[in-house]
Amino acid sequence: MNIYLLRHGIAADLGLGIKSDFERPLTEEGIKEMRMEAKGMKNLGIQFTKILTSPLFRAKQTAEIVAEVLDCKNKLQECKALAIPASRSHLLDDLKRFTSGDDILLVGHEPEMGYLAGFFIGNLKLRLPFKKGSLCKIEVSNLQHSPIGELRWFLTPKQLKLLGK
């Protein structure tokens, strides 16, 4: 199974009518950049079996943009285990219904995405730094209590945007 981890795009700060972290939307710049990054994914030939997203608004918007650009809106699903804080055990339960040949995109937040990267490659102490819009691919051979995976690549937002041109 291939697990792709994507941190949400650039989001608005609290204030100006935004009362909670849960409600923070992507900024106009965040939407524009995420579209370009999703085009980069498309140009790489990436397709997802399923897109699981945190229920927080900025992550859902990010997932919706990716699903729209990759023409897979019907594969989008909210996943409470990706909220802040992320629940590894609940996430594993959610992932066990997929098969070894599936490509699953998880859209979430920092520091959770960084820790999940370490978790999926079998190193609980590792935290990869995810800038907003960063994407990585981890090939997971075992999804038991302690997953065993291998980091295949990690792309920064800048790299994805260049691929999207």
Supply the pLDDT for residue 156.
97
Q: For the residues 5-33, what does the mean pLDDT come to? A: 90
Asked whether residue 144 carries a pLDDT value surpassing 90, the answer given is no
Separation of alpha carbons 117 and 136, rounded Å: 8
The pLDDT tens digits of the residues spanning 84-115 come to 888 888 999 999 899 889 999 999 999 999 99
Please choose, from the candidates 155, 51, 46, the residue with its C-alpha nearest in 3D space to the C-alpha of residue 95.
Answer: 51
Supply the pLDDT for residue 108.
97
On average, the pLDDT of the chain sits at: 93
Which pTM was predicted? 0.95
Supply the pLDDT for residue 31.
98
Supply the pLDDT for residue 124.
85
Q: For the residues 26-39, what does the mean pLDDT come to? A: 97
**Are 144 and 27 spatial neighbours (Cβ–Cβ below 8 Å)?**
no
Containing 156, the helix (H) or strand (E) segment is none
CATH code linked to domain 2-163? 3.40.50.1240
Question: What would the two tokens of residue 160 be?
Answer: 């994805």
Q: For the residues 132-158, what does the mean pLDDT come to? A: 93
Supply the pLDDT for residue 100.
87
Give the domain ranges of the chain: 2-163
What's the number of CA atoms in the CB half-sphere (13 Å) around residue 39? 12
Question: What would the two tokens of residue 68 be?
Answer: 């729209």
The pLDDT tens digits of the residues spanning 54-95 come to 999 999 999 999 999 999 989 999 999 999 888 888 999 999
Please provide the DSSP assignment of 56-110 as one string.
Answer: SHHHHHHHHHHHHHTT-GGGEEE-GGGSSSP-HHHHHHHHTTS-TT-EEEEEE-T
